[in-house]
Amino acid sequence: MAAADFQIDEGGQGLTLRLTGDWTATELGRVSRRLDDGLNGRDVTAVDLSELGRFDTAGALAVIQAGHAKLPKTAWDERPEAGRTYAMVERLERESAGPPKRSPGWIRTFAKVGRGVQDIVAEATLSMAFLGRLIVATGTTVRYLLLAVMGWLVLAWGAVVKGVNRAEGDRLISKG
């Protein structure tokens, strides 16, 4: 695979564009920008395709968008399949809808403020959910601590009330 490239020859008959290499999506690189700068809106009188490799829709689009130069009708006679691809992409490019209309500035401002408020509300909701879970976890922990302390107190108080000596009280507490 040869990388896409071009040469622009300015002869007595006008401007000749020579396409070389594979003009495919994988091989284009930055050649379309260079071609745009090279043609600079000038009309091409002849196209030399003798060294053109593969040619796909990405290559056709690069040629079409290059300085919006006009190619002669006989440009693709050497490679009719490339000419069909070029014609199809050129027609689609010509007939396709323009870029979407941009909203006025005041609408974009209110939309941005609205998205910000929505983000704040979403963050507040998530924070409240986290706080609720934290309260439940803390309450559960306190509950189990209180139950453990109360259980120990009941056992200890029972030992005191019964008049159990210290050794028996420790044995009762450790049995739980």
What residues have CB less than 8 Å from 164, skipping those under 6 apart?
Answer: 158, 172
Give the Cα separation of 156 and 78 in Å (integer). 105
Q: What mean pLDDT value characterizes the chain?
A: 86
Neighbours of 63 (CB within 10 A): 25
Report the distance separating Cα 22 and Cα 153, nearest Å. Answer: 88
pLDDT tens-digit series, residues 67-91: 677 788 888 898 999 999 999 998 9
Q: Write out pLDDT tens, residues 144-156.
A: 999 988 888 877 7
Write the class of the CATH domain 5-95.
alpha beta
Q: Which whole number is the average pLDDT over 21-25?
A: 90
DSSP-assigned letters across all residues of 141-172:
HHHHHHHHHHHHHHHHHHHHHHT--HHHHHHH
- Give the model's pLDDT for residue 40: 79
pLDDT at residue number 141: 96
- What is the spatial distance between Cα 51 and Cα 48, in angstroms, rounded to a whole number? 8
Q: What are the beta bridge partners of residue 10?
A: 15
**C-alpha angle 135/138/141, rounded to 5°?**
150
Domain boundaries defined on the chain: 5-95, 105-170
Q: Tell me, what's the pLDDT at 115?
A: 97
Query: Tell me: the pLDDT tens digits for 38-54?
Result: 887 778 888 889 999 99
Report pLDDT for 160: 64
Say whether pLDDT at 166 is over 70: no
Structure tokens given for 103: 């909203």
Asked if 57 contacts 81 with a C-beta cutoff of 8 angstroms, the reply is no
Residue type, 98: G
